[in-house]
Amino acid sequence: MKGRRLKYLVAGGIVVAALVGMIYSGVKESVVYFYTPSELTQKKDSVEGKSLRVGGMVVDGSLKWDPQALLLTFQLTDGQGVVIVRHKGTAPDLFKEGAGAVVEGTWTRDGYFRSSNIMAKHSEEYKPPVHPETLESKKELFKSILKEGKP
């Protein structure tokens, strides 16, 4: 009976050690959930044709909708780099100029990002509406959205 208890204790110890070890090594390695526009413009040659995600804020005034071709064109920025995105189809309700978005797709040779899926990204901060909406509050939202992608 004593031997069995020891067996369970050792087994429990190994399991916990393995889990902790993996969590620790997992935290150390940085995982990129999405590229920022400036990162993408830096390494666009190496990622051409590969399926990836880009996240940023939709540039004010850049959103164009062509109802004939069902083509949505807009620019994403992180404050430094800018990426032109073309998307066939409609966007989610929360997708608007000045808001955050993550797009999935590929970087094409013609200098734009062909998106197959738009996801409106919202911040993990929840607050009641502030009136009037200031530039400062927008900047804060942008910062909190970028932070999420880079844990």
Partner 1 sequence: MARLSFAARLHGGAAALLLAVGLYWGLLAVPADAFQGEVQRIMYLHVPSVSTAYLAILVTFCASILYLWKRDLRIDAVAHSSAEIGVVFLGITLATGAIWGKPTWGVWWTWDARLTVTAIVFTMYVGYLMVRAFAEEPQAGARYGAVLAVLGLPAIILNHFAVQWWRTLHQPSSLIRPGGPSVAPVILWPLVFNIVAMLVLYSYFLLERVRLERIRHRAAESRLKRGRRG
Partner 2 sequence: MVAELLRRTWAMTWKDVTVELRARERVTAMLFFAALVLFIFNFALGPDREKLREVAPGLLWLAFLFTGMLGLGRSFQAERENECFEALLLTPGDRESIYYGKLAGNVLFMVIAEALILPLFGILYNLDIWGLLPSLALVAFLGTLGFSAVGTLLAAMTAHIRAREVMLPLLLFPLTVPVILASVRATEAILLGEGLGEVSQWLKLLVGFDVIFLVVSPLVFEFVLEE
- Residues at the interface with partner 2 (CB under 8 A): 7-8, 11, 14-15, 18-19, 21-22, 25-26, 29
Rg, Å, the chain Cα set: 22
- CA-based nearest residue to 51, from 87, 103, 86, 118: 103
11 binds, among partner 2, partner 1, none (CB under 5 to 8 A by kind): partner 2
Structure tokens at 59: 């540039």
Site string for partner 1, 17-56 (x = CB under 8 A): --x--xx--x----x-x-----------------------
Q: What H or E segment, with its residue span, contains residue 117? A: strand 113-121
Q: Which stretch binds partner 1 (CB under 8 A): 40-48, 58-66, 69-77, 113-121?
A: 113-121
Find the shortest distance in angstroms from Cβ 103 to partner 1. 11
Q: How do strand 100-107 and strand 51-58 relate by DSSP bridges?
A: antiparallel
State the DSSP code for 134.
P
Does 123 bind partner 1 (CB under 8 A)? Our answer is: yes
